[in-house]
Structure 1
């Protein structure tokens, strides 16, 4: 490997100079790389010498663009059987965020400073802190795939000071995202009482299970009779239905869990099982439908055809109407024929019921809750770590230092 100075005259007769690094790459091919300054040539030469010796060097001319590497990355994700929703998210990150800003950049040019510049561009163009973090995780995964293919040596995303940056991002996210509030994000006890009193028909067992078992909407939609033990009063979570209605295992190992259910849910499920809408498998000579027997593998909350129920149907035909019936509403700017404000449902997503379940698990028994410790709450919710549980619901746990408890502790200590 050598460094030499090259001089020449331009078309106007002015003398120009540059520094050229002449070397043989890992494949035995001669490479020339030109620099305006000798210190840059020296720096590249020192780095390339080590990379060539270790067999990891990739020349710029042999490097691919980020957009091209992204296509390989998506293909790998599909080939390894990742969930459609995950692959779809990867594709969105590539097409909407990574590609438009740095898609034409060579992988070999993607340094730590270039990553910081990419971060700045993401924020300047209106992406939230949370979205910036997600896109960078995807870019790091893309570069890891490119490394395995020999398209790039460095993964600049993972070289960046991860611990410091991670803490900084989390602090920024906490500033932007306020704590969950009872009556705003979490239904109150009175609101839940009103909803339970208004429930009827096919949505009653589903909504009751969401309220008193805390299952995610995907877990409710993928729940089988096989996984419901009414005698032991518990539900076993072994699968879920994604947003494409495809059945698969929970995303994390912690998602597979057993959740106890109270009598109100047990009774509702027993009634629902007796009135279970069995799928039509044919018709008899009189053209009357022949329905399949109730089998353990059938979905508990299937649609009329025995398939996965659509989430929009659960919300628009179940959750929202029952809130309006129960009076759990907020006023809107719209008015009816008589000029009266048109109310709309206060909570628009199933996750509000999961939030209530978490608060019910946390609240003290004297406040109508279960008073469970944090680790048990984590297990009931299927969170992968106690950190996640405490980050979302930590402020709901009793502090144990209110006036009555402080007085009792004082008496116990001092007699």
Structure 2
């Protein structure tokens, strides 16, 4: 039988001190005690604890693990489940740099939504909004994992969000047709078919680096995404079920791939865009040594500014920087499909999005038909006035 009783004792200065002790039994029948400075706090806690005990989810403070310990369990679970090396490294960074230093010592049993909100606010003072969002979501996953293990009754971080103004959201940047043509005109060797696949099939950089010839059907004119290469050059499955997809390609790309297949470095992995030894191409090498220099060569670049003026090299020539990342070529593919009036479901599938909401959020502003809209408005007006 749970009870609440007053405790009185003399303080160091001789004044009488008081507190309220909750005396209860946990789910295993073991007697537990918890102290509060005010009776109403003890009453509220006992009501909540009694409900948790009845559901078998109550954890006493003395038996509770800390956020840091729960975070370690979360990372170990990711390692045991063979998550990608890059994913695990990201989990460790979020744990070690953002979560443990600020809230790691807090016991899960004492964690509350207001404390998580305070953690979020503290992050916002010293981290970017984007990094704060990642850290809060990671804490929610940590608590979710702990809840499944029976270490905590509820995930108090689930409803804590980092709001982001739509004005802060980066807009999709799509290269102009002239820029895309300049890239293709200046690309040499295996870089040209790689850029063409990015532009015409919308593959991500990781998917390009992991693409196998066995997944390129030149007869059926399709490319199937079945694996990807992470930043450590390790091959693995796509990150989500939506990543598995088959994309139709045109005759120009098929012809380019036929020629490249004869010249492509051979390797045991059978990759379509390998390094010179047939292995997985390093992403940094692809960008810094190949794609970025291609943009500069093609004139798809901007001057590097220093104190508002173009930075010059030793010969007095302006230093230029590449204008786009490979992801912009993926946006170009989506943009071209939209202009051909592709339906949203096919766009979602070909681009590899998990849900239609993400597709609309990313490319919705491109789905416009001024002529069609004008015709609809005119027809509606005629109907109303008939």
> Normalising to structure 1: TM-score of the pair?
0.85
Aligned to 1:362, the other structure's residue is in SS state helix
Task: Confirm or deny: 8 A CA contact 2:208 2:273 kept in the other structure.
Answer: yes
Residue 204 (structure 2) pairs with residue 238 (structure 1):
no
Aligned to 1:16, the other structure's residue is in SS state strand
Over 3 Å counting, the alpha-carbon distance change for 1:352 and 1:113 in structure 2 is same
Give the aligned partner of residue 307 of structure 2: none
Give the aligned partner of residue 366 of structure 2: 396
Alpha-carbon distance between aligned partners in 1 of 2:380 and 2:316, rounded to the nearest angstrom:
60
Q: How many residues align?
A: 379
Alpha-carbon distance between aligned partners in 1 of 2:147 and 2:381, rounded to the nearest angstrom:
65
Alpha-carbon distance between aligned partners in 2 of 1:381 and 1:50, rounded to the nearest angstrom:
47
Alpha-carbon distance between aligned partners in 2 of 1:69 and 1:336, rounded to the nearest angstrom:
51
Give the aligned partner of residue 306 of structure 1: 278
Residue 171 (structure 2) pairs with residue 179 (structure 1):
yes
Give the aligned partner of residue 262 of structure 1: 250
Alpha-carbon distance between aligned partners in 2 of 1:397 and 1:147, rounded to the nearest angstrom:
42
Q: Per-residue CA shift, 1:31-89, capped at 9, x if unaligned?
A: 22111111111122222223223322211111111001111111111112222222222
Q: Which one of 174, 182, 194 corresponds to residue 182 of structure 2?
A: 194
Give the aligned partner of residue 323 of structure 2: 346
Over 3 Å counting, the alpha-carbon distance change for 1:407 and 1:116 in structure 2 is closer
Give the aligned partner of residue 148 of structure 2: 148
Alpha-carbon distance between aligned partners in 1 of 2:64 and 2:32, rounded to the nearest angstrom:
13
Task: Confirm or deny: 8 A CA contact 2:232 2:282 kept in the other structure.
Answer: no
Alpha-carbon distance between aligned partners in 1 of 2:245 and 2:359, rounded to the nearest angstrom:
16
Give the aligned partner of residue 334 of structure 1: 311
Alpha-carbon distance between aligned partners in 2 of 1:102 and 1:272, rounded to the nearest angstrom:
54
> Normalising to structure 2: TM-score of the pair?
0.91
Give the aligned partner of residue 372 of structure 1: 342
TM-fit CA distance, 1:331: 1.9
Once the two structures are overlaid, the 10-residue window that deviates more, 306-315 or 219-228, is: 306-315
Alpha-carbon distance between aligned partners in 2 of 1:206 and 1:124, rounded to the nearest angstrom:
42
Over 3 Å counting, the alpha-carbon distance change for 1:406 and 1:114 in structure 2 is same
Task: Confirm or deny: 8 A CA contact 2:211 2:271 kept in the other structure.
Answer: yes
Over 3 Å counting, the alpha-carbon distance change for 1:179 and 1:278 in structure 2 is closer
Q: Per-residue CA shift, 1:371-401, capped at 9, x if unaligned?
A: 3222222111011111111111111122335
Over 3 Å counting, the alpha-carbon distance change for 1:264 and 1:29 in structure 2 is same
Over 3 Å counting, the alpha-carbon distance change for 1:11 and 1:317 in structure 2 is closer
> What does 1:150-169 align with in structure 2 at a 5 Å threshold?
150-158=150-158, 160=159, 169=163
Aligned to 1:335, the other structure's residue is in SS state coil
Residue 346 (structure 2) pairs with residue 358 (structure 1):
no
Alpha-carbon distance between aligned partners in 1 of 2:112 and 2:211, rounded to the nearest angstrom:
47
Q: Which runs of 5+ in 2 are unaligned?
A: 305-309
Q: Per-residue CA shift, 1:143-184, capped at 9, x if unaligned?
A: 1221233321121123x3x7xx5xx83xx242211432xxxx
Over 3 Å counting, the alpha-carbon distance change for 1:412 and 1:357 in structure 2 is farther
Give the aligned partner of residue 76 of structure 1: 77
Aligned to 1:344, the other structure's residue is in SS state strand
